[in-house]
Amino acid sequence: MLNKVALITGASRGLGQTLATFLAGRGFHLIITARGGEALAATAQALEKYGQTVIALAGDVDDPMHRQQLAQAAQQLGRLDLLINNASILGPSPQPMLADYPIETLEQVLAVNLLAPLALIQTTLPLLKQSHGLIVNITSDAAVGGYAGWGGYGASKAALDLMSLTLSHELQEDGVSAVSVDPGDMRTQMHQEAFPGEDISDRPLPDVTIPFWAWLLGQLPVTITGRRFQAQTDRWLIPA
């Protein structure tokens, strides 16, 4: 049986790094990417002990040429079973109210958090169809909370949720599944940036979500497509 292949964006630290480690331990070959080349290389080196192929390509998912590089790496490995769109940006910190939000900055948040994941899906879709693959888009409770000061980031994730649901309907006949996952608050660099100067040591590390990921990957993708999940709750599936 051929090893499955996963592509993870934002994989140099935090949740992306945790997912890369988890998947390598389950026998996945990996394509990992992030903007920081040094941190990405360190992650790739740490994954060597699992004995899987790891292709680390530093770059920005907002760059069409970089997305093409990622798709070519998947073609090199011969398949793509799992695409995890984890890379995202917070925007200004502290975050401004929507009434004061610089439109040019909001355009960049939407470009990275919404348009880049869709573009990467489009670029890798032929391989996902061949493998009847699973698309996982990482969302946030900000997508549904309407929290003051989180409107820009939250809007990008709300749109990502709708995109995931729509793709699940549009790609069903092709055997490609799509879900969105809210990993919950975690002790990560982005979470610290969202709360500058505050102590976030009470937040769990990203590996708290591993039981959820173990469960998710044990499901047939066609049985979960279109769903939105919360990785840190007693009930992972959010009722429709």
Instruction: Enter the pTM of the model.
Output: 0.93
Strands annotated E in 59-196: 82-85, 134-138, 177-182
φ, ψ dihedrals at 148, nearest 5° = -60, 130
Q: Using omega within 30 degrees of 0 as the cis cutoff, is the peptide bond preceding 239 cis?
A: no
CA distance 137 to 122: 14
Domain residues of the chain, as ranges?
5-230
According to CATH, what is the number of the domain 5-230?
3.40.50.720
Residue with tokens 């499901």: 219
Query: Is 153 considered catalytic here?
Result: yes
Per-residue pLDDT of the chain (240 residues; tens, 9 = 90+): 578 999 999 999 999 999 999 999 999 999 999 999 999 999 999 999 999 999 999 999 999 999 999 999 999 999 999 999 999 999 888 889 999 999 999 999 999 999 999 999 999 999 999 999 999 999 998 899 888 888 999 999 999 999 999 999 999 999 999 999 999 776 656 655 666 666 556 667 888 999 999 999 999 999 999 999 999 877 777 665
Tokens at residue 69, please?
């590089």
Q: Choose the catalytic residue: 50, 101, 147, 153.
A: 153
- Can you spell out the DSSP letters for 120-159? HHHHHHHHHHHHT-EEEEE--THHHH--TT-HHHHHHHHH
Calculate ∠ Cα 207-112-97, nearest 5°: 90
pLDDT value of position 182: 92
Cα 85 off chain centre by: 3
